[in-house]
């Protein structure tokens, strides 16, 4: 396989491959680091051609190019994309997410959240999150988009795959009928990364070097902020710095954070099932459902 992979990479970048090292991660396909004969080190993602995973790599390339062209968010350069292969620049990593990195992240993320559109909530094409389809039809109201294209879409998907009990889906549906008790319309849509957890945040020398594996769309920025707390990606240093740029409305940490994290929880239920179902149950009970 390595010989075939090497020749594919060479054909796309015009340089021979000296060494290939498997990397961890990659919900969409396998991930490698390739050292090239011209001195470059690149990241290679692969999937079987003609499969949904290969289509996911193509979508990932489009998302990265959109971020590169429309924001200042540091992301890998797309070097080449082919059916079943995505080649990207390698970003330095290994610096952790300490205080200065979190403060740097807050400035970068707040700047991204200032990017808006007059189209509404959604995106110009459907994207992926964790390898799963993420529908983005333009929708004028955030509450409607969040309810229909995030919570209920992923909930039904998880139930259809046998990962979410029908009884829990019915409770989720009842909860969604009352979302307007807690969720309000933001002033404007904001561009979000969409999958901002520690594995997708790269740093070195006390600063952010990049954000990878996007799941972008235009949303209420609070859904992004909530997700950063789910796996303890960012904490107090990030939120203090972010609030100094974009104040967060009262009630976020007490209520809305848990509501917005229902979506990534449902993504994890769809992917893995198990204990994530009990987390959905706990959140629904928290709000009386």
Enzyme catalytic residues? 195
Q: State phi, psi for 46 to the nearest 5 degrees.
A: -130, 155
Answer for the pair 47, 29: CB distance below 8 angstroms, yes or no: yes
* Chain centroid to CA 160: 23
Using CA atoms, how far apart are residues 136 and 117, in angstroms rounded to an integer?
14
Question: Within 13 Å of residue 235, how many CA atoms lie on the same side as its CB?
Answer: 6
* 264: nearest Cα among 164, 195, 185: 195
Q: Please, is 286 exposed, middle or buried when counting C-beta atoms within 10 Å of its C-beta (0-12, 13-18, 19+)?
A: exposed
Using CA atoms, how far apart are residues 91 and 105, in angstroms rounded to an integer?
15
Strand (E) positions, the chain? Answer: 17-23, 30-36, 41-46, 78-82, 85-89, 127-129, 132-134, 190-192, 201-204, 207-211, 217-219
Using CA atoms, how far apart are residues 208 and 212, in angstroms rounded to an integer?
11
Using CA atoms, how far apart are residues 87 and 47, in angstroms rounded to an integer?
12
Burial 51-76 (b: 16+ CB within 10 A, else e): eebbbbbbbbbbbbebbeeebebbbb
Q: State phi, psi for 208 to the nearest 5 degrees.
A: -75, 135
Using CA atoms, how far apart are residues 46 and 30, in angstroms rounded to an integer?
5
| Three-state DSSP class for residue 139 | strand
């Amino acid at each position: 396989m390595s010989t075939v992979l090497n020749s594919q990479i060479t054909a796309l970048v015009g340089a021979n491959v000296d060494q290939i090292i498997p990397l961890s991660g990659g919900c969409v396909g396998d991930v490698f680091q390739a050292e090239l004969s011209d001195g470059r080190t690149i990241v290679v993602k692969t999937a079987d051609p003609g499969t949904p995973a290969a289509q996911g790599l193509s979508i990932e390339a489009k998302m990265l190019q959109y971020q590169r062209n429309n924001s200042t968010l540091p992301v890998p350069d797309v070097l080449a994309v082919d059916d079943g292969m995505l080649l990207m620049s390698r970003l330095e990593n290994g610096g952790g997410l300490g205080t200065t990195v979190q403060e740097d992240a807050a400035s970068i993320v707040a700047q991204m959240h200032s990017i808006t559109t007059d189209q509404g909530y959604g995106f110009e094409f459907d994207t992926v999150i964790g390898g799963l389809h993420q529908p983005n039809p333009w929708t004028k109201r955030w509450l409607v988009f969040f309810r229909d294209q995030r919570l209920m879409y992923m909930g039904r998907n998880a139930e259809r795959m046998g990962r979410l009990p029908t009884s829990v889906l019915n409770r989720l549906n009842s909860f969604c009928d009352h979302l307007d008790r807690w969720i309000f319309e933001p002033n404007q849509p904001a561009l979000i990364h969409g999958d901002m957890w520690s594995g997708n945040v790269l740093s070195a020398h006390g600063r952010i070097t990049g954000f990878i594996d996007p799941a972008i769309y235009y949303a209420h920025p609070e859904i992004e902020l909530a997700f950063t707390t789910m796996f303890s990606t960012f904490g107090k240093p990030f939120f203090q710095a972010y609030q100094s740029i974009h104040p967060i409305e009262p009630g976020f940490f007490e209520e809305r954070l848990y509501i917005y994290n229902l979506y990534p929880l449902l993504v994890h239920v769809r992917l893995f099932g198990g204990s994530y179902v009990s987390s959905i149950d706990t959140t629904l009970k928290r709000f009386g459902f």
